[in-house]
Amino acid sequence: MSETSSDGNIYERGLDKTPANYQPLTPLSYLDWAARVFPDKTAVIHGPHKFTWSEFDVRCRRLASALQKRGIGPGDTVSVMSPNAPAMLEAHYGVPMAGAVLNALNYRLDDETIAFILKHAETKVLITDREFSGVIRDAVAILDNPDLLIVDVDDPLANGGELIGDLTYEALLAEGDPDHVWEAPADEWQAMCLNYTSGTTGNPKGVVYHHRGGYLNALGNALVFRLGPESVYLWTLPMFHCNGWTYTWAVTSVGGTHVCLRNVDPAEIFPLIEEHKVTHMCGAPIVLNMLVHAPDDVKKTFDHTIEVATGGAAPPSTVISRMAAMGFNVTHLYGLTETYGPSTVCVFQDEWADLPLEDKAVKMSRQGVRYPTQFHQTVRDPETLDLVPEDGKTIGEIMFQSNTVMRGYLKNPDATAEAFRGGWYHTGDLAVQHPDGYIEVKDRSKDIIISGGENISSLEVEETLYKHPGVMECAVVAMPSEKWGETPVAFVTPTAAAEGTLDANELIDFCKQHMARFKAPTKVVFGPLPKTSTGKIQKFVLREKVHDVAEEKDD
Amino acid sequence: MSETSSDGNIYERGLDKTPANYQPLTPLSYLDWAARVFPDKTAVIHGPHKFTWSEFDVRCRRLASALQKRGIGPGDTVSVMSPNAPAMLEAHYGVPMAGAVLNALNYRLDDETIAFILKHAETKVLITDREFSGVIRDAVAILDNPDLLIVDVDDPLANGGELIGDLTYEALLAEGDPDHVWEAPADEWQAMCLNYTSGTTGNPKGVVYHHRGGYLNALGNALVFRLGPESVYLWTLPMFHCNGWTYTWAVTSVGGTHVCLRNVDPAEIFPLIEEHKVTHMCGAPIVLNMLVHAPDDVKKTFDHTIEVATGGAAPPSTVISRMAAMGFNVTHLYGLTETYGPSTVCVFQDEWADLPLEDKAVKMSRQGVRYPTQFHQTVRDPETLDLVPEDGKTIGEIMFQSNTVMRGYLKNPDATAEAFRGGWYHTGDLAVQHPDGYIEVKDRSKDIIISGGENISSLEVEETLYKHPGVMECAVVAMPSEKWGETPVAFVTPTAAAEGTLDANELIDFCKQHMARFKAPTKVVFGPLPKTSTGKIQKFVLREKVHDVAEEKDD
């Protein structure tokens, strides 16, 4: 009898949870399903190598079994340093199957940051691809933890590197039982993954995911992205990035096919799309830019549609149209590490189809509406938590309530409490909510430029710059101005074709013609843009640079 | 801090549930989503009437608000007697939005059974379509509960009937606040629906669904059936039947369109499919039979594919092929009231496409594999609970562990405990598990015929009979035999074309040619088949009848 039996209503008597009707939600169950329904279908492609769902399942079971035999279980962290190769995908199943927590490392990090993470996460096992042996060896030296078990992935497709660990990944798998029966977590709230955010200041924070959230966000992706058994997913998005936005599990939930990719290189991407008839892929806008600006002898145009989800920044209209011309249909998603990756999607409305390209791109570049698996998506006053009017003008902070929000930051109750204050997850992103319910990010709070008392959205200036055919990438930040308070300055990487010929004044004039004149940049600096290891442009670095140029010109 | 803070591992410290990261799963959230994302898109079509998602949402909010104003809340039952009309669909949202429990009544039930259910469910409000005023008036008289609030749905498409209640449904809606803000249930385990099973003996049992299960099974349907915003779902399946197999919520979860249908009549179905470009529908095999055997002037062939899910019995190969010829793609699902309707699906494997029709139909008629949202689907020895070998031969009982299994039977702890004994939900269906993991129902335990010590599956005999072009419907049961113990006897409804000319001996010979001779029926009886109100053939009635025919012949 339930606890409420004595005083509850008729529905609270004798209708309790039992193993028959209550089981923890976990994305691990998708692998069980795929291996059962499609045992002989190709699960994973890695260069010339292929695994069926049955083979992949056995490898994951072996990994779980081997880890357990070595004493790894709930509460233990297993870190993995790997590009988008099979071992990384297997770790997404084998590690949590052992009850442990997967910490997928950003392979662009430096040794000190990696050492910090391994120490903070109290990592027990480190699985590392040979290509990263250099930085890992240095990180391990800094860490100085003799109890750390290091497992080398000797991927035949790796480019160089050495074996530096205690045993190879294949030897570890050989220790495991191929028929290992894994147990679902005792509670779906149990920690499953640990992802460190690449903060621009301070130490990275460890975002903890639970099984429930992984299960739900993966289903949301499958539903929103219309995945099915025929789907072929190309791994252009790093799996370490929010666990590949949970596509690591979503593709499995429908029995699709994962196509691994160690290097995000158009010279590899185009042929793989053609060879495997890729149907879906994801990536930051830079990935789309790379495809659009790939050399002509590399570029291919496809007669089947490839669905591309992008996030991190809005795709400029030119990118949308140029991708479409090659066969790619771009969808804009929005989310954060704290929300298991994508949490909103710019759902395409039928009536947009007839809009002029520019207008259509404006609609499509918005962050959109919540996933069906997200609970509440709102824009609120950061202080009062009041909802902002849905007028497309009033700026507030995007806040979520959802089962697809992290448990919190590991060993950081203050940051967790701050992120969840008032019962809402505070994204830190400033946005408006349009009358049609779509949200549109206007800026991170520090990215708003205030010039002569008027707000200028750096994103709006960037969107205008992207319309110029000579602009490959750009970023706009505030430059201090005695007269105006601040003015916008643009940092621009020209396309290969425009390299050396693109003129600053031409770009400024172009902006003045295409937006309010006061919003046009007062200065343009050419060159490569500083980026975080996940490909985010580091505006704080640019802000430091503007102090140099601010001396030169102030109008 | 969590309860485990003091002794748990690092992942159990300061990472507790908050409103920001934990919200109850409820299918009600899908309506919120659809109304937000597709406010002006058609949500519901009912004859000449249409509602947008925004309008539909407002009607549901009004219903919830009006019920709450009248004191209805958690633990209260609202019963609804209605065909597949808008009020029934609205009740699927408005009633649980008020925190109450929806009890959708089978409109084919008699007055005494309805009175039993209203009393057992302690119904507070009865919403009833005018077409059923006769049986409801009688049921209410038997019930004799002066506190029951009766609400008449005065559907303009109703065929006759009277208004017998305290107020009309539209008047009730008018009492409600269109801007009513509903609250999610405090716990996703809260009761949401109550569905009475049409048992063949004894009183019906009340199956209790919770919000969590409704949410998950609807997502499973959307995923398995590939629903999307462009989906147009025709309501050929009664919404009272496992809440329309949870398609009441699944179609909403993607912003598709519901097309209502009061009467399952091919003369209405074919034109509706054509007019609204219907993409999906569900139904018992009899619905498929009706379409296949519809008069030629009613039948239409479509050049778009209509996905049809069927369950309750395996679709015979002739039905699959004849439906395909008209544009319908048949998928076989399996489930029970206790499992929110469909729980397994016969996933079509690519390699089946090249099989001869007969072999393909054999594959397709199996009950298949679990939904991705189902947790464990197994075939076990009913006594020992041991798994049966996956040999396609050894018969066991289908047992589930899943979040999409009912909470239990209302006010019936003994039946609940019996159904869940050993931690598994016992379906009572006997099946084999094939080497490819697909399950195939062989029979309800009492439907196995034992003849000369050999088991004969009545389903196998029926499948053979269905191959005869003159057979519209059939059912096979055991006839006592002194010599053999039992022999099969077939009850057959001929097609309109074969009516009066179909010969018993011809059918028996046909069976002997197409299956093991000892399995052929020894007797054929022509005529209509007795059915439950949900369209299930009542074999127990046929078993009583065989005692009459057993006197005539025994070989």
User: DSSP of A305-326, one letter per residue?
Assistant: -EEEEE-SSPPPHHHHHHHHHH
Closest-CA residue to B213 (of B182, B239, B188): B188
Q: How many angstroms separate the CA atoms of A452 and A60, rounded?
A: 60
Cβ A87 vs Cβ A113: under 8 Å: no
Closest-CA residue to A85 (of A112, A59, A65): A59
Q: How many angstroms separate the CA atoms of B35 and B24, rounded?
A: 20
Predicted pLDDT of residue B449: 82
Chosen from A2, A4, A11 to mutate, greatest number of chain B CBs within 10 A: A11
Q: Which residues of B touch A406 (CB under 8 A)?
A: 21
Ordered structural domains, chain B, with CATH: 47-176+188-214 (3.40.50.12780), 264-444 (3.40.50.12780), 452-550 (3.30.300.30)
Cβ–Cβ gap A401/B23 under 8 Å: yes
Name residues whose C-beta falls within 8 Å of residue A103's C-beta, 6 or more positions apart in sequence: A77, A78, A79, A80, A117, A121, A123, A193, A194, A195, A196, A206
Q: How many angstroms separate the CA atoms of B484 and B506, rounded?
A: 23
Most confident of A62-71, B282-291, B507-516: A62-71
Size of interface A-B (CB pairs under 8 A): 181
C-alpha angle A92/A96/A97, rounded to 5°? 105
Q: What is the mean pLDDT of residues A155-171?
A: 97
Q: Residue A554 pLDDT > 50, yes or no?
A: no
Closest-CA residue to A41 (of B346, B350, B362): B350
Residue A23 pLDDT class (50, 70, 90 cuts): very high
Q: Residue B1 pLDDT > 50, yes or no?
A: no
Cβ–Cβ gap A20/B419 under 8 Å: yes
Amino acid letter for position A254? V
Q: Which residues of B touch A425 (CB under 8 A)?
A: 20-21
User: In angstroms, what separates the C-alpha of B301 from chain A's closest C-alpha?
Assistant: 27
Q: How many angstroms separate the CA atoms of A299 and A292, rounded?
A: 8
Closest residue, chain A, to B34 (C-alpha):
A372
Joined together, the tokens standing for residue A247 give: 């596509």
Residue A545 pLDDT class (50, 70, 90 cuts): confident
Cα pseudo-dihedral A487, A493, A497, A499, rounded to 10: 80
Residue B545 pLDDT class (50, 70, 90 cuts): confident
Name residues whose C-beta falls within 8 Å of residue A289's C-beta, 6 or more positions apart in sequence: A319, A472, A473
Say how many C-beta atoms besides its own lie within 10 A of residue A356's C-beta.
8
Q: What is the mean pLDDT of residues A317-325?
A: 87
Q: What percent of chain B is predicted at pLDDT more than 70?
A: 95
User: In angstroms, what separates the C-alpha of B442 from chain A's closest C-alpha?
Assistant: 21
Cβ–Cβ gap B10/A190 under 8 Å: no
Q: What is the mean pLDDT of residues A55-69?
A: 98
Per-residue pLDDT of A421-470, as tens digits, reads 999 999 988 899 999 999 998 866 567 787 776 667 788 788 889 889 89
Predicted pLDDT of residue A262: 97
Residue with tokens 């939600």: A25
Q: What is the mean pLDDT of residues B470-485?
A: 85
Residue B549 pLDDT class (50, 70, 90 cuts): low
Interface of B with A in 18-37 (CB under 8 A): 18-23, 25, 29-30, 33, 36-37
Q: How many angstroms separate the CA atoms of B162 and A182, rounded?
A: 60
**SS3 label, residue B417:** helix
Looking at per-residue pLDDT, the higher value among A515 and A443 belongs to A515
Q: What is the mean pLDDT of residues B129-152?
A: 97
Of the ranges A189-193, B229-233, B444-448, which one carries the lowest mean pLDDT score? B444-448
Q: Residue A3 pLDDT > 90, yes or no?
A: no
Q: What is the mean pLDDT of residues B163-171?
A: 97
**SS3 label, residue A135:** helix
Per-residue pLDDT of A290-314, as tens digits, reads 899 899 999 999 999 999 999 877 7
Residue A5 pLDDT class (50, 70, 90 cuts): very low
Joined together, the tokens standing for residue A46 give: 């890695």
Predicted pLDDT of residue A40: 96
Closest-CA residue to A63 (of A100, A88, A94): A94
Cβ A535 vs Cβ A284: under 8 Å: yes
Q: Which residues of A touch B75 (CB under 8 A)?
A: 8-12
Dump strand ranges (E) for A36-190. Answer: 42-46, 49-52, 77-81, 101-105, 123-129, 149-153, 167-168
Cβ–Cβ gap A403/B20 under 8 Å: no
User: In angstroms, what separates the C-alpha of B288 from chain A's closest C-alpha?
Assistant: 26
Q: Residue B553 pLDDT > 50, yes or no?
A: no
Name residues whose C-beta falls within 8 Å of residue A146's C-beta, 6 or more positions apart in sequence: none
Of the ranges A311-315, A512-516, B71-75, B290-294, which one carries the lowest mean pLDDT score? A311-315
Sheet containing A306-310: give its strands across: A49-52, A42-46, A257-259, A232-234, A280-283, A306-310, A328-336, A341-345, A369-370
Q: What is the mean pLDDT of residues B515-519?
A: 81
User: In angstroms, what separates the C-alpha of A499 from chain B's closest C-alpha?
Assistant: 43
Looking at per-residue pLDDT, the higher value among B329 and A312 belongs to B329
Q: What is the mean pLDDT of residues A209-228?
A: 97
Q: Residue B6 pLDDT > 60, yes or no?
A: no
Closest-CA residue to B263 (of B274, B272, B276): B272
Cβ B260 vs Cβ B44: under 8 Å: yes
Tell me what the pLDDT averaged over chain B comes to. 91
Q: How many angstroms separate the CA atoms of A101 and A95, rounded?
A: 6
Residue A250 pLDDT class (50, 70, 90 cuts): very high
pTM for this prediction = 0.87
Cβ–Cβ gap A23/B376 under 8 Å: yes
Assess B226–A contact: CB distance below 8 Å, yes or no.
Answer: yes
Of the ranges A7-11, A127-131, B254-258, B492-496, which one carries the lowest mean pLDDT score? A7-11
Residue of B15, B222, B423 with shortest CB distance to A223 = B222
Chosen from A3, A21, A79, A209 to mutate, greatest number of chain B CBs within 10 A: A21
Q: Residue B42 pLDDT > 80, yes or no?
A: yes
Q: Residue A490 pLDDT > 60, yes or no?
A: yes
Residue A198 pLDDT class (50, 70, 90 cuts): low
Predicted pLDDT of residue A370: 95
Assess A71–B contact: CB distance below 8 Å, yes or no.
Answer: no
Cβ B293 vs Cβ B472: under 8 Å: yes
Per-residue pLDDT of A390-414, as tens digits, reads 999 998 999 999 999 999 999 999 9
Q: What is the mean pLDDT of residues A304-330?
A: 89
Interface of B with A in 498-517 (CB under 8 A): none
Assess B17–A contact: CB distance below 8 Å, yes or no.
Answer: yes
Cβ–Cβ gap A408/B21 under 8 Å: yes
